[in-house]
Structure 1
Amino acid sequence: MMYPMYYWFDPTYILVIAGVIICLAASAKMRSTFNRYSRVRSHSGLTGHEAAYEVLRRAGIYDVRIERVAGNLTDHYDPRTKVLRLSDATYNSTSLAAVGVAAHECGHAMQHAQGYMPLRIRGSLVPLANLGSTLAWPLILIGLLFTGRSSEMFLNLGILAFSLAVLFQLVTLPVEFNASGRAVRILGSSGIMYPDEIQGTKKVLGAAALTYVAGAASSILQLLRIILLTGNRRR
């Protein structure tokens, strides 16, 4: 017996598709904005790593190393080793995009130096979020295979595990927005950038922040899908 195609369609896939579209749109916006301002040279002529050194010095931070890391937009600050790593697209570039990204990572170093609470919370959530994202679906699948109390227990554990990953995404948002705010303020007050250049930098950092917002939104939609799926199973 043949069943119509819609008979097999899982409506919760709409949430997955929506999450993918949101992430793709944010990623495309980030790439186009970065590429646009990577072709605009900053008036100071400072490279990304020179700008990072200057920003850290003006913030009174002298114990952070600046290193080059392979890749494109792989820039990050490692609070465990106090190392600021700048990607190939940032390290030796004198563009507005490169200086802005480098200053943003310095913002994380400033957060670390000042004991910024959301950063500390995010750091403590890293192992739990990694564990949660790894175990969530296996626990849910086991719960779907069992019946009765065993099923309920595994489904709840799976939802809890995935919720930890979602919580990490949410805590990341204020951390990233705050780091960008710090970067913009110090670039303007130090004279490293002119006011009109600051506007371009804000666009680059704003586009980068959208990728984190999109990631959080996608995770929330995925969590909602899991709740709907497990709710249908319980009924």
Structure 2
Amino acid sequence: MFYYDSTYLLLIPAMIISAWAQFKVSATFEKYSKVYSSKGLSGAEVARMLLDNNGLYNVPIEVTGGKLSDHYDPTRQILRLSNDVYYGNSVASLGVAAHEVGHAIQHKTAYKPLILRNSIVPIVNLGSSMSWVLFIAGLILSIQPLITIGILLFSGVVVFQLVTLPVEFDASARALKELGSRGILYNEEVKGAKKVLDAAALTYVAATIMAISQLLRLIALSKRND
């Protein structure tokens, strides 16, 4: 049966890396959420400070549900912070808050990888939802063009993940620079924030590896159908 195909073995390394990345980010955030910043500022206060310092007075900050659900919405230009980050004054909270501000700064400065990522979102959304449908239909009906289209659509997902990497790395670099240069966190605190952001970056690396593995699996399955 298709669902028990041996090509699933291609996904095992990616699944292991993904599980490890999720554990790493959770454990690291938990560790540094107990290390409080010397200045006692909350994530929301730091985010507001950094936004204003970069001329982003019009970007509001909202509390959003969930854990580590923090994000910047470029469409509505809203910064959303999870409850722990919004109210927290730990090194972890400030690091995550500053990272999301980094995305807002990218948006303001028209950071090219961010523009590219945002521009392909509609295509990627279509590709992620339709690629497998077309691919499986092509396999079942032995229609090679459908299989090829499915692979091409899923390739867009891989491109999206690859473009996401520099976007996330750059946001973290901006965050750490802002936190250090403005004296919000001191040296050892900046190092702690860096560990939190580095751990978070691993989840994006893992997602990219998983997408590439899925694409390789599709290609392997398509060759069986030749």
Counterpart of 2:171 (choices 176, 179, 197) is 179
SS of aligned partner of 1:229: helix
Unaligned residue ranges in structure 1 (runs of 5+): 1-7
Query: Does residue 23 of structure 2 align to residue 28 of structure 1?
Result: yes
Aligned counterparts of 1:88 and 1:15: Cα–Cα separation in 2: 38
Aligned counterparts of 2:67 and 2:220: Cα–Cα separation in 1: 38
**More off after superposition, 129-138 vs 8-17:** 8-17
Aligned counterparts of 1:158 and 1:139: Cα–Cα separation in 2: 5
Aligned residue number for residue 153 of structure 1: 145
Aligned residue number for residue 4 of structure 1: none
Deviation of residue 139 (structure 1)? 0.5
Unaligned residue ranges in structure 2 (runs of 5+): none
Deviation of residue 221 (structure 1)? 0.5
Query: Does residue 34 of structure 2 align to residue 39 of structure 1?
Result: yes
Counterpart of 1:17 (choices 2, 12, 18) is 12
SS of aligned partner of 1:12: helix
Counterpart of 1:78 (choices 48, 67, 73) is 73
**More off after superposition, 75-84 vs 55-64:** 55-64
Counterpart of 1:91 (choices 86, 94, 109) is 86
Counterpart of 1:223 (choices 206, 215, 219) is 215
Counterpart of 1:143 (choices 127, 131, 138) is 138
Which letter does structure 1 place at the counterpart of 2:18?
Answer: C
Which letter does structure 2 place at the counterpart of 1:179?
Answer: A
**More off after superposition, 49-58 vs 201-210:** 49-58
Residues 166-205 of structure 1: pairs in structure 2 closer than 5 A: 166-205=158-197
Aligned counterparts of 2:84 and 2:68: Cα–Cα separation in 1: 7
User: Over aligned residues, Cα RMSD in angstroms?
Assistant: 1.1
Aligned counterparts of 2:37 and 2:128: Cα–Cα separation in 1: 41
Deviation of residue 20 (structure 1)? 1.4
Post-superposition Cα deviations, 1:9-58, rounded to whole Å, max 9, x if no partner, equal 63311112222111111000000000000001001100000010111122
Post-superposition Cα deviations, 1:59-94, rounded to whole Å, max 9, x if no partner, equal 222111001111110000001111000001101000
Instruction: Tell me the percent identity.
Output: 50
Which letter does structure 2 place at the counterpart of 1:223?
Answer: L
Aligned residue number for residue 118 of structure 1: 113
Post-superposition Cα deviations, 1:121-149, rounded to whole Å, max 9, x if no partner, equal 100111111110101111111111223xx
Aligned residue number for residue 66 of structure 1: 61
Length, aligned pairs only: 224
User: Structure 1-normalised TM-score?
Assistant: 0.93
User: Structure 2-normalised TM-score?
Assistant: 0.97
